[in-house]
Structure 1
Amino acid sequence: MNPTLPLLLGISTAVIGTLPPGLLNMTAAKVSMRDGRNRALWFAFGASVIVFFQTLLAVLFARFIDRRADISAVLQEIGFVIFSLLTIYFLWVAKKPKTNKKKEEVKMRSKTSRFFMGMLLSSLNLFPVPYYVFVSVTLGSYDYFIFDSYFIYAFSFGTAIAAFLVFFGYISFFKGKQNNASFLSKNINYIIGSITGVVALLTLFRIIFR
C-alpha cells in the first residue's frame, strides 16, 4: 500500500466537500474582513481541528452507521434542527448591527476567541460526518480504503489539511477584493443564512421522502 494514499484521498475528498460556499468558509471570509487575516487564520485552524475529529469519528463508525438506517435518520433530524436554528440566527439576529463599537473592538483583539469560534461552528456543522461515512464506505467497496489505524488517521489528517487550505483560499480571495468588501460585509449574514436555509430544506426533504 502506498503510504501517501490515505493522505491524498483525504485531501482530495475534503476539497470536494469544502470548496463550495458554505457556513465555515464564508464565515472565515467574514472574520478576515472584520477582524483581519491573522484572526481569520486562527478561526480556520480551529475549524480544521474539528474537521479532523469529525472525520475520525465518521470513519471509525462508517460500517456500523452505513448498516443502520435508523442512525442515519437521527443524524438527518439533528442536522435539520441545527441548520434551521442557524438560518434564523443569521437572517434575523446576526444581521442587526452592533451599536457598541468599543466592545466589538475589544473582542477583535482576542485570537483565541476566533480559534474557539471556529471550533464551535465546525462542531455545529454535521455535514462532514455523513459525508465521510459515505466516502470511506464507497472507497472501501473499491478496495481504496482500508479500515486500519494508520489509514484512518492519515485520511483524517488529510481532510484537516485540505479544509484549512480551502479556508485560507477564501480568506485570501475576499481579503484581496477590497472593492467588494463593503458589500460582502453588509450582506454576508444573508448569504450564510441562505446557505444554511437551503441545507435545512434539503435535509427536511430527505427526512420526509426517505
Structure 2
Amino acid sequence: MNVLSCIFFGFIIASMGSITPSFLNLTVVKFSLRNGVKSALYLIGGYATVLFFQANIGAYLSSILMENSEYITLIQQIGTVILFLLSINFFRLYFSKKEKKKSEDIPKSKAYFHGILMSSLNTMAIPFYFTFISILIGMDYFTYNIFNALYFSIGSTIGSFTLYTLYAILSKRIEHKLTYIASKMDFILGALTGILAVGNAIYLLS
C-alpha cells in the first residue's frame, strides 16, 4: 500500500476526530488564552503522543479479525454496531442532565504530561480508530501490516496536532462559539454516528 495514502487516511481520520469540540480542544483553547500558543503546544504534544499509540492499537485490533478474508464482513458488521452504540450513547449524554465541571488550572511546566493524561482518559479514541480503519479494510482502502500501521499513525499524529494547534491559534476568536457548540456536540455526534451506521448498514445489505 502506498505510504502517502496511509498517511493521508491517518491525517483525515484524526482530523475528523479532533475537529469536533470536546474536553480536549476546549482545554487547548483555555490553556492557550491563559498561557499563550507556545505553551499550549506542549499540551497538544501530550495529546498527539498518546493518539499515535491509540491509532496503532485501533489498527491492530482491526487486523486481528482480517487474518482470513471471510472476516472482513464481520469487521464491517462490528464497526456498524459500534457506530450505533456510539450514536445511542451520545444521545443519552445529550438528554441526560449533567452538572458542569469546573475547569482545572494547568501549570505550564506540567502541560505535556497533563496532555498525556487527558488524552489517555479519552476512551473514545481507540473505538473511533478501530471503526474507521475497519471500514477502510472492508472497502479495500487499507491493508494492515506493521509499516502501514506506522505510517497511518504518523498521519493521525500530524492530523490531530495540526487541528489542535489551529484551536490554540484561533482561541480568542472561537472561545465562546466553541463553548456553545460543545454544549450541543453530543447531539451532533449522535446524529453523525447514526448516519454513518445507517450508511454502512445499507452498504452491507447491498
With the length of structure 1 as denominator, give the TM-score of the two structures: 0.67
What amino acid is aligned across from residue 46 of structure 1 in structure 2? G
Cα distance per residue 1:72-110 (max 9 Å; x no partner): 77xx69xx6xx97xx999x43416xx9xxxxx6xx63x3
CA offsets 1:48-84 (integer angstroms, 9 cap, x no match): 1111111111111125494896xx77xx69xx6xx97
CA distance in 1, matches of 2:134, 2:180: 35
1:13 aligns with 2:13: yes
Question: 2:100 corresponds to which letter in structure 1?
Answer: W
Shift of 1:131: 1.6
Task: Specify the alignment match of 1:111 in structure 2.
Answer: 109
Identity over aligned pairs, percent: 24
**Structure 2 residue 119 is matched with structure 1 residue 122:** yes
Structure 1 partner of 2:35: 35
| Aligned counterpart, 1:60 | 60
Contact 1:55 1:156 survives alignment (8 Å): yes
| Correspondence for 1:94 among 99, 102, 105 | 102
Question: Contact (CA 8 Å) 2:26, 2:179: kept in 1 or not?
Answer: no
Aligned residues: 185
Give the superposition deviation at 1:35: 2.0
Code of the residue aligned with 2:38 in structure 1: it is: N
The equivalent residue for 1:4 is 4
- Decide whether aligned partners of structure 1 residues 93 and 19 sit closer, same or farther in structure 2, where only a CA change above 3 A counts: closer
**What residue number does 1:49 align with?**
49
Match runs of 1:60-209 below 5 Å: 60-63=60-63, 64=65, 66=75, 91-94=99-102, 108=107, 110-112=108-110, 114-175=111-172, 177=173, 184=176, 195=185, 198=187
The whole-number CA distance in structure 1 between the counterparts of 2:10 and 2:101 is 36
Where do 5+ consecutive residues of structure 1 fail to align?
Answer: 99-103, 206-210
Runs of 4+ in 1 over 2 A off after TM superposition: 63-69, 187-195, 197-202
Alpha-carbon contact 2:55-2:156 (below 8 Å) kept: yes
Question: Gaps spanning 5+ residues in structure 2: where?
Answer: 66-73, 195-206
RMSD, aligned CA: 4.0
* 1:20 positional shift: 2.1
Counterpart AA for 1:117: H
Does the 8 Å contact 2:59/2:149 carry over to 1?
yes
Distance 1:15 1:66, change over 3 A: same
Q: CA contact under 8 A between 1:88 and 1:193: conserved in structure 2? A: no
- Give the residue type in structure 2 aligned to 1:125: N
Kept in 1: contact 2:6–2:148 (CA 8 A)? yes
* Cα distance, 1:48–1:19 mapped onto 2, change above 3 Å: same
